[in-house]
Amino acid sequence: MSILVVGTGYVGTTTALVLAELGWRVTGLDTDDSKIKLLQQGSLPFYEDGLEALLKKHLQSGNIRFTTKTVKAIEQSDLIFICVGTPSQQDGSADLRYVKQVAMDIGRHMNGYKLIVNKSTVPVGTQEKVTRWVLEAQTRTHPFDVASNPEFLREGKALPDAMYPDRVVIGASSDHAAKLLKALYQSLKCPVVITTPKTAELIKYAANAFLATKVSYINELAKLCDKLGINVKEVAQGIGLDPRIGSSFLQAGIGYGGSCFPKDVSALLQTANEHDTELRLLEQVISINRAQHQHLLHKARQRLGTLVHKKIAVLGLAFKPDTDDIREAPAVNIIKSLLDEKAIVSVHDPVAKLPPELVHVSVTPCNTPEQALYGADAVFICTEWKSYQHIDWERIKRYMNDPNIFDGRNMLDARLMAAIGFHYQGIGYQC
């Protein structure tokens, strides 16, 4: 079976490499020439631990190759994964234009049976749309199936998540398609949920919306903890030990970001709207999250009186550690608010870069955290990079103008920081 993966972003590249590791022959296709050139040379177009070694291994083994030649790639494949982006539109719904383009390309260049598998996160009913788009584009009739196979990997953990998934979800409308996909994944040794395409599509949104709800729930509780002088981390531990609740996604902070939770919760709400259904809980999840980063700014304003002309060091730009992805990163909103309030901002992140709209404004990008912290009136921790735990805080305190830490990820030890002489505040967590 010859496999084509269309879209070589975070999901497509990981999928292609894991399939290559499982022994399949895989082609990665992208319209972005610069990404393909990098991949052909054995370099990743994004930061993701462990993937580059696998890329080099399978370029050598011959299990993987990359191309921008759409027609040839489609003609030579039996199984095609769609892994292109599905960004938010103005109204919050998912933009399916890239998925449509791929479906039309496949239809136009089909030369025999193809199993088309959609891995992009798409609204319920998209499998039917893809089927229609392929049919409309066909110039000669060829049989095909369209299945839904949502992806659950996390950035920063993409390789282990894809190699050892908790489950594989297959939404297929034919036994043939379900059997082919089951066979493809059989060596993964995890539960396989075989269902309808619509159910598979909803499972993906329901999973992300549930996890986002957990985050907004603990963030709401953290606000109460602040008022009551209670440590939210202990509350999270105390409730998380109940297996019905579970300990994951109970880390309070400045809110969830990234390319998935914000857009997927909005898209699910939009689907509900289209079907005259109110999802009031999810409306609140979104609104809590949108305001969450303000909580940290509020604490700083209260402590410093004003942020005007205060020197603020922001540690961490990425929406979470171990990735360079800054899509919907809370740090970016915090920096924009700081600039609006005329603060002087310096920023450090081990891998992520400032977005273009913040490059030519008065934000100083720094190569080390120490550089960012020099002369600062306060530090805002926006991403819990492990390396920030290893900063020599005692030494750095001497170089700060005013030793204030506003820890948006509750990553430092409040008591230790206070003992060193810092004024330390986390989210629902302080000394």
Binding site for ligand NAD (CB under 6 A): 6-12, 29-32, 35, 83-86, 98, 101-102, 120-121, 151, 153, 155, 259-260
Instruction: Give the shortest CB-158-to-ligand NAD separation in angstroms.
Output: 7
Rounded to an integer, what is the distance from CA 8 to the centroid of its chain?
Answer: 15
Only one of the segments 83-91, 130-138, 248-256, 368-376 lies at the binding site for ligand UPG (rule: CB under 6 A); that segment is: 248-256
Q: Which two tokens stand for residue 108?
A: 């136009």
Question: Binding partner of residue 133 among ligand UPG, ligand NAD, none, CB under 5 to 8 Å per kind?
Answer: none
The answer to the question of residue 253 lying near ligand UPG (CB under 6 A) is yes
Three-class DSSP category at 237: helix
User: Of all residues in this chain, which one has the CB nearest to ligand UPG in the complex?
Assistant: 260
Annotation marks residue 382 as catalytic: no
Cα–Cα dist 159/172, whole Å: 25
Q: Which of 260, 366, 382, 431 is an active site residue? A: 260
Residue 395 is assigned to a ligand binding site: no
Rounded distance between C-alpha atoms, residue 410 and residue 39, angstroms: 37
242 vs 392, which CB is nearer to ligand UPG? 242
Q: List the structure tokens of 253.
A: 């902070």
Binding residue per annotation — 108? no
412: left (phi over 0), alpha (psi -120 to 50) or beta: beta
Neighbours of 196 (CB within 10 A): 13
Q: Say if residues 192 and 180 touch (Cβ distance below 8 Å).
A: no
Say how far apart CA 184 and CA 3 lie, in whole Å: 10
Quick note: the x/- pattern for ligand UPG over 311-330, rule CB under 6 A, is: --------xx----------
118 touching ligand UPG, by CB under 6 A? no
- Nearest C-alpha neighbor of 54 from the set 17, 2, 109, 5: 17
Residue 257 sits in the site that holds ligand UPG (CB under 6 A): yes
Phi, psi (deg, nearest 5) at residue 117: -120, 120
Q: Which of residues 212-231 bind ligand UPG (CB under 6 A)?
A: 215
- Rounded to a whole number of angstroms, the CA Rg of the chain reads 23
Give the nearest distance from C-beta 110 to ligand UPG in angstroms. Answer: 29
Distance of closest approach, residue 127 Cβ to ligand NAD, in angstroms: 14
Q: Residue written as tokens 């999928």?
A: 15
Q: Which of residues 145-164 bind ligand UPG (CB under 6 A)?
A: 151-155
Note whether 382 and 257 are within 8 A (CB): no
* 3-class secondary-structure state, position 2: strand
Give me the least distance between CB of 191 and ligand UPG, in Å please: 16
Residue with tokens 């494949």: 77
**Least distance (Å) from ligand NAD to the CB of residue 327?**
8
Under the binding rule (CB under 6 A), the answer on residue 260 touching ligand UPG is: yes
- 320 belongs to an annotated ligand binding site: yes
Site residues for ligand UPG per CB under 6 A: 121, 151-155, 208, 211, 215, 249-251, 253, 256-258, 260-261, 264, 319-320
Enumerate the active-site residues: 260
